[in-house]
Structure 1
Amino acid sequence: MRSRDGKVATRFFRKVLKATHPQTPRVITVDKNAAYPGAVEALKGDETLTAKTELRQSKYLNNIIEQPHRNIKRLT
């Protein structure tokens, strides 16, 4: 992971988490970018995220609608 990518990912998560949410996220699902684990650990370190927040990296779960062969994609 390049440090610039980690800084950008951390800034992105801070911006998203700054918005009003009824509760802190339990699970954050992202793609397999190597910058995300470091960014989430940095946010846990400065207590922006709780220690219980789980990072789930999956190639497809974060954006199901973009999968090319799903029925919903054909319908839309």
Structure 2
Amino acid sequence: MDSQGHTLDFLLCAKHDAAAAERFLRRTLNALHTQAPRVINVDKNAAYPPAVDQLKADEQLSETTELRQVKYLNNRVEQDHRFIKRLTKPGMGFGSFNSARATLRGMEAMNMIRKGQFSWS
């Protein structure tokens, strides 16, 4: 999420390791709607520092970009996903990873339309 509360991107992956974190951050930073971040707030997952270090080494992220790993600063992201969690809980999970990916992709798209983040032009 950016500072205005808009969803920048989301990634569902089987493993939440440094490679997945780097892939997510690289994809988000390369998007047309993304500006260079001043601060990146993430949870305490150990995958983020190596990913950010690699992006700084590749000069895709500014050296002045700060990575803040605080459990509760990520709360805005979790609150944004509350709508999705409310829809998926009654279903008691998904049969496979691919069905989860397809279903959540559609739910995220509908959530972005509901928040007015989608343009028809």
Regarding TM over 0.5, the answer is yes
SS at match of 1:29: strand
Runs in 1 of length 4+ with deviation above 4 angstroms? Answer: none
State the structure with bigger RCO (CA 8 A, min sep 6), 1 or 2: 1
Of 26, 38, 53, 2:38 maps to 26
* TM-score, normalised via structure 1 length: 0.74
CA distance 1:41–1:65, change in 2 (3 Å): closer
Aligned partners of 2:69 and 2:50: how far apart in 1? Answer: 13
SS at match of 1:47: coil
Question: Structure 2: where are the runs of 5+ without partners?
Answer: 1-15, 80-121
CA distance 1:63–1:48, change in 2 (3 Å): same
CA RMSD of aligned residues (A): 2.0
Question: What is the percent sequence identity of the aligned residues?
Answer: 62
SS at match of 1:61: coil
Q: Say whether 1:42 aligns with 2:54.
A: yes
Question: Structure 1: where are the runs of 5+ without partners?
Answer: 68-76
Q: CA deviation at 1:23?
A: 3.4
**Letter paired with 2:18:** G
Q: Say whether 1:14 aligns with 2:7.
A: no
CA distance 1:47–1:65, change in 2 (3 Å): closer
Q: CA deviation at 1:19?
A: 1.3
**Letter paired with 1:6:** A
* TM-score, normalised via structure 2 length: 0.48
Give the structure with higher Rg (CA). Answer: 2
Number of residue pairs aligned between Structure 1 and Structure 2? 64
* Higher alpha-carbon deviation: 8-17 or 21-30: 21-30
